[in-house]
């Protein structure tokens, strides 16, 4: 029996989507679905939920929960990762509250900015522990990473972990449907090319029957900007820089120096920027969990329809050799020449029995590449900090972050980083 290991299986809703998709896929029947999480109650909840789903759907997959990570990984053909190190309390609270003392406000803080840096620093050591286990007990496994910060963690697993890793994100699948639905354009038959970096990939080409749709998209977007709506940052970036970005406006508001500014508070209202959005979502999810738990965990009639998540489609393509195209996060082996070769990029990839094969994109428009590089700079310095354990590189990463550097002086950035390091305590290794 082949094994698919899910690390972070206590993310019960996400486990339902990803592993429910696998159980709903004919070509993936008979696999062992190995569950692992450090939260034993949530692990048991997911085991019960998936067992109900298996029984109600008639899947022949087996559901086995493990308390030993290495045993969960042993012999796995595929490993799916969806962990969050430090959780909402204490680490997410720390990532938001300490920067706020310095006047630095954030929206999501899970990818870029000061919150993204520290989420990386506490997650990278854990991921490298996973990598050591994988090299020992399932060295040929394909590692599907769903954990943010996507670009850095996927980079580390490939570059330092020695594990064949592809990073997977929702934003590429949602880009065309979200944009076209909002602009009320028919998306049937639309062809698109999307590439860049995670959460800042670009809709480079969008055509229908050979016709470029961008002029109409920009015309309609400019009309939409006359009234408040929920995607104003991305529309503004498209109208100013020429191309639409994959990830949401609340994310992109904190990836650039233009939108969240203490001296221009009117920008927050004008672009409808939801400050402290991620903590608000966390509080809401925590408060709703018991109700959701009843609906998911204790529901013996639980059903599932296959979602848009890439994981089951990747596994299906590899098991059947029927090709499938994804937007994947991979190392930049010349795929986008005007981005650094050390970077992790998000590009179209073809999946079949041979694995995940990235496609060549070519140079991005120069302004798009320049914007990507502002975030790549911080990504690479964060990796340098994590691998050398030198505190100075944490400072460098923060001082190079576009939003952080636009708001704070270098001295304030260093003091803020020192305070964050101290507050994280044992969630971080020692830095010199």
The 10 Å Cβ neighbour count of residue 394 is 27
CA distance 108 to 172: 18
Report which of 120, 165, 196, 214 is spatially closest to residue 7, judged by C-alpha positions: 165
Q: Active-site residue 170, yes or no?
A: yes
| Helix spans in 184-276 (H) | 214-224, 232-241, 249-252, 266-270
DSSP 312-367: HHHHHHHHH---EEEEEEEE-SSSSTTS-TTSEEEEEEEEETTEEEE----PPPHH
**Angle between helix 410-424 and helix 391-400 axes, rounded to 10 deg:** 130
Q: Which two tokens stand for residue 112?
A: 């870029």
HSE on the CB side for 179, CA within 13 Å?
30
Handedness of CA 198, 204, 206, 209 (dihedral sign): negative
CA distance 159 to 220: 43
3-state secondary structure of 399: helix
Q: State residue 304 phi and psi, 5-degree precision.
A: -150, 135
Choose the catalytic residue: 170, 182, 251, 308: 170
Q: Which two tokens stand for residue 363?
A: 């140079």
CB of 317 within 8 A of CB of 350? no
CA distance 407 to 402: 9
Q: Which two tokens stand for residue 77?
A: 């053909």
3-state secondary structure of 279: helix
CA distance 53 to 383: 39
Q: What is the largest CA-CA distance in the chain?
A: 61
Q: Which two tokens stand for residue 367?
A: 């302004």
* Residues noted as catalytic: 170
């Amino acid at each position: 029996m082949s094994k698919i290991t899910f690390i972070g299986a206590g993310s019960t809703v996400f486990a339902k989507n990803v592993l429910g998709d696998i159980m709903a896929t004919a070509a993936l029947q008979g696999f062992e679905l190995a569950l692992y999480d450090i939260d034993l109650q949530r692990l048991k909840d997911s085991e019960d939920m998936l067992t109900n789903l298996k029984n109600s759907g008639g899947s022949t997959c087996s559901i086995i929960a493990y308390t030993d990570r290495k045993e969960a990984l042993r012999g796995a053909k595929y490993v799916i990762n969806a962990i969050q190190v430090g959780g909402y309390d204490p680490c997410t609270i720390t990532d938001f509250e300490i920067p706020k003392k310095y006047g630095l406000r954030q929206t999501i803080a899970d990818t870029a900015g000061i919150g993204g840096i520290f989420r990386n620093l506490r997650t990278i050591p854990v991921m490298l522990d996973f990598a050591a286990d994988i090299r020992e007990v399932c060295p040929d496994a394909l590692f599907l990473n769903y954990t943010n910060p996507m670009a850095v963690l996927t980079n580390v697993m490939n570059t330092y972990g020695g594990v064949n890793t592809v990073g997977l994100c929702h934003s590429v699948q949602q880009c065309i449907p979200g944009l076209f639905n909002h602009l009320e354009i028919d998306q049937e038959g639309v062809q698109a090319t999307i590439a860049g970096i995670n959460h800042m990939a670009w809709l480079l080409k969008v055509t229908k029957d050979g016709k470029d749709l961008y002029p109409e998209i920009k015309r309609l977007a400019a009309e939409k900007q006359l009234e408040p709506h929920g995607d104003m940052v991305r529309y503004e970036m498209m109208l100013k820089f020429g191309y639409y970005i994959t990830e949401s406006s609340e994310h992109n508001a904190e990836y650039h120096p233009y939108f969240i500014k203490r001296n221009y508070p009117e920008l927050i209202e004008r672009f409808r920027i939801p400050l402290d959005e991620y903590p608000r979502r966390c509080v809401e999810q925590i408060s709703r969990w018991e109700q959701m738990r009843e609906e998911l965990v204790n529901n013996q009639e639980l059903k599932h329809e296959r979602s848009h998540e890439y994981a089951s489609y990747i596994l299906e393509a590899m098991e059947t050799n029927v090709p499938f195209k994804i937007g994947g996060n991979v190392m930049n082996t010349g795929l986008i020449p005007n981005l650094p070769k050390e970077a992790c990029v998000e590009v179209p990839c073809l999946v079949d029995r041979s694995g995940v094969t990235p496609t060549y994109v070519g140079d991005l428009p120069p302004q798009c590449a320049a914007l990507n590089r502002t975030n790549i700079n911080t990504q690479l310095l964060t990796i340098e900090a994590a691998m050398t354990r030198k505190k100075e590189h944490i400072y460098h990463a923060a001082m190079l972050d576009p939003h952080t550097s636009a708001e704070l002086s270098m001295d304030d950035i260093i003091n803020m980083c020192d305070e964050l390091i101290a507050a994280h305590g044992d969630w971080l290794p020692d830095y010199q």
